[in-house]
Chains A and B, each alone.
Chain A
């Protein structure tokens, strides 16, 4: 099973070394062969990781942070290769080790946890077996005691009822639980190095906190070294000893965590720092120095009238419980299905108001009913009960089927979470922006007419999208540009209410900073109201006048942004705020 070189003995040898270096990367350059020729994803990267140390690699998309870590484990895909440089792990030359040696290292001496834990697990294999596979591979267990060991490991990652969960498939577990399984998989063989690649992106803040604390605790107890790859400066600041900032494949700055946040040296680090939402700042502070944007408006408290634009009263949405505890699932978990569980209340009697010119944030963790609420307000689905009044008209009574043709429809628009998925891939940016104009703007007769072109160009100018990009298709645009197209489309008909469903969740922080400022500016010029749906309280605070915190379909707290964030009354809100990591500024 094992190669000629015994990694264990090599590790023993390296343990004698005085400096206690576990990983050392020197002048690493990684190239990818693409259709457009060779692309350098990582250039001359140097890093050192001591035993027991936690290193954060921070950067935005395309910075090369993931490629660097994949190279350390030598799991780059076929197109990528190490062009230059050396990687030494416990004295082993990773760049030149044989595939067999690497296989023995992976999972046993160095392992990795990934973003999107559900996708990182084999969907059709029991999670217990997946952990067992790793143990058996590295001879850490034998077929007769493997189950016992797996259950022991499940206990260590705090999975309740591990004997049952051993037989669960990933789709039967929550996102946070799947991430625990991935952690169990990575730590099963007690490796020396853990690489965590955006381990909590896509998880709720409270889950993120629990997962990060678990990782920290386990790695500390075992004296492991950790590399934490993240785009979130707050996360790096909270959990890392040293932070390395990368931009476009190059390292721009490496320093102890404390120092890099108190006194960032490189302009890019400073830009990232500024763009990270944190307590005690205003929207304009997110932009780089000198690019004030709407910084002139020190606080988001802008004149709002007292006239309610949208009034939601006692809104209820029920779904028949599907899939959740299906009879079959209940059979093998041994749980009886309660007939009361047959109906699930996604939204459980909530009421709120949005005034003209006001921004209201709807905050909560996944499954709290915030998206269902916004979809009902958008009249895409029908509520089970309750009233929705828009500008004095009861729109809740209009069936969702016919709302698309209702004159009020053009006054309510939406910006979606994923800028890529929400654009038709076969429409150019111009066509996407023109879409509502053609459908509802009475410009259908002017298809391709000069008036339409002018209008689209004007909208593009308003959202800061260069006119020469209008002929491009979504795949030719960057994330920020696509977000601008989505916003331009939403404001094309001069709506009164725009529902923003996590519009910046998929964007890099520096892009998020620009988009948030753009949204604020547009709101002021066009006098719109926003219903901002988000899980990120800091972002909500920057953009919204009032915040509604939701949990399990109910409103737990409501108040002005300042009140809710600075003096939260509800215990759950306090928990949410405490769970958000932020740089020590």
Chain B
């Protein structure tokens, strides 16, 4: 197992080097002059040139790259020009916020979509199959900012069940001591149930918004994968042996059908994490997506580089986890490695 993890990580190194080079070049070729932006509209050419020298933007590209890499090796991702904060610090606080939201959304989606997909496959062509199709199509067709706003309108404005969509915690609470950066976990570790409840309350509506969107791919792949497995010969053997439908469906069919579901999950997760900018905007969520978009608009390249790098590392980690999950589910994958 350790050997597997080691070899996977080793294969990830070239892609990470590639990511470092590509993001560096990309942020340099993007239109917009950082120095001019920060000098302000009334700045003289001399002032702009001065800022450029200060930022090191007048040096040749290779020199800039060497500077960037040597800083990176010390764990320094640079400083954001618009906030003045260290990028590494900002990402460290914002990434857990996004990850917590995305994970909650994903788990919630899983809890609904997987049983739904199984039921739709087992009772193919029944009302539950049609309901599955209808709901997943609707979920994937509605844009998240729309469902987000709709849910806020309904649960906060109309019904008053949800707290105001203003970030991760109500203003009356202070954030728990940072251990994992996940408020739900940190508050429990601190033994502070009040904060836990408050953090959970803030999470419910954005989680629901994301879950509705993530429902469709998971339910669809579960259904398709279950249908495929249910028609295979070993299921016929299991039925011919008199096993109950529960054993046949859960122990025999579902475990085999899980492999494509796990693959999809990895993709859905990384996709949601980067793409939930809109949800973060609607709920004033201090996440990494909105941070990156703002930095991109202001040509603030240090945060953009940091964001892309963080996502790349996350993606590598995610793929590793999926590979390990594969190994746990499927003995054949284990022996191939």
Q: Which residues of A contact B (CB under 8 A)?
A: 73, 75, 77, 103-108, 111-112, 114, 116, 119-125, 133-134, 137-138, 169, 171-172, 182, 185-186, 323, 326, 328-329
Contacts and interface: CB of A to CB of B under 8 A. Distances in A.
Given A124-B255, A124-B332, A133-B251, A114 B236 contact: yes
B330 to A, nearest CB: 5
Interface in B242-256: 242-244, 247, 251-252, 255-256
B242 A107 contact: yes
Interface in B191-241: 231-234, 236-241
B328 to A, nearest CB: 10
Given A116-B233, A120-B237, A171 B243 contact: no
A108 B330 CA distance: 29
Contact of B233 (A73, A120, A124, A134): A120
A114 B242 contact: no
Given A103-B242, A108-B242, A124-B256, A137 B234 contact: no
Nearest to B1: A328
Contacts of B241: 106-107, 111, 133-134, 137, 185-186
Given A107-B241, A171-B332, A125 B252 contact: yes
Contacts of A122: 234, 237-238, 252, 256
In the complex, which of the residues B240, B255, B332, B337 has the most CB atoms of chain A within 10 Å of its own CB atom? B240
B242 A121 contact: no
Nearest to B124: A78
Given A108-B242, A134-B242, A134-B243, A120 B236 contact: yes
A12 B244 CA distance: 25
Contact of B334 (A77, A104, A328): A328
Contacts of A104: 242
Contacts of A134: 241-243
Contacts of B232: 119
B124 to A, nearest CB: 8
B233 A107 contact: no
Interface string B301-337: 0000000000000000000000000000111101111
Contacts of B234: 119-123
Contacts of B233: 114, 116, 119-120
25 contacts: A75-B236, A75-B239, A103-B243, A103-B244, A104-B242, A106-B241, A106-B242, A107-B242, A114-B240, A119-B234, A120-B234, A120-B236, A121-B237, A122-B256, A123-B256, A124-B256, A124-B331, A133-B247, A134-B243, A137-B241, A137-B247, A169-B332, A171-B332, A182-B237, A185-B237
In the complex, which of the residues B237, B330, B335 has the most CB atoms of chain A within 10 Å of its own CB atom? B237
Given A116-B233, A120-B233, A323 B335 contact: yes
Contacts of B256: 122-124
Nearest to B241: A107
A122 B329 CA distance: 12
Contacts of A120: 233-234, 236-237
A483 to B, nearest CB: 25
Interface of B: 231-234, 236-244, 247, 251-252, 255-256, 329-332, 334-337
A124 B329 contact: yes
Contact of A112 (B231, B240, B335, B337): B240
Contacts of B336: 323
Contacts of A329: 335
A109 B192 CA distance: 60
A114 B233 CA distance: 9
Contacts of B247: 133, 137
Nearest to B252: A122
Nearest to B330: A124
A123 B332 contact: yes
Contacts of A105: 242
B237 A328 contact: no
Given A114-B237, A119-B234, 14 more contacts: A106-B239, A112-B240, A114-B240, A120-B237, A122-B234, A122-B256, A123-B256, A123-B332, A124-B255, A124-B256, A125-B251, A172-B335, A186-B241, A329-B335
Nearest to B329: A124
B39 to A, nearest CB: 61
B335 A326 contact: yes
A503 to B, nearest CB: 26
Nearest to A121: B234
B323 to A, nearest CB: 15
Given A75-B236, A114-B237, A116-B233, A133 B243 contact: yes
A75 B243 contact: no
Contacts of B237: 112, 114, 120-122, 182, 185
Contacts of A137: 241-244, 247
A186 B234 CA distance: 13
A138 B335 contact: no
A106 B243 CA distance: 8
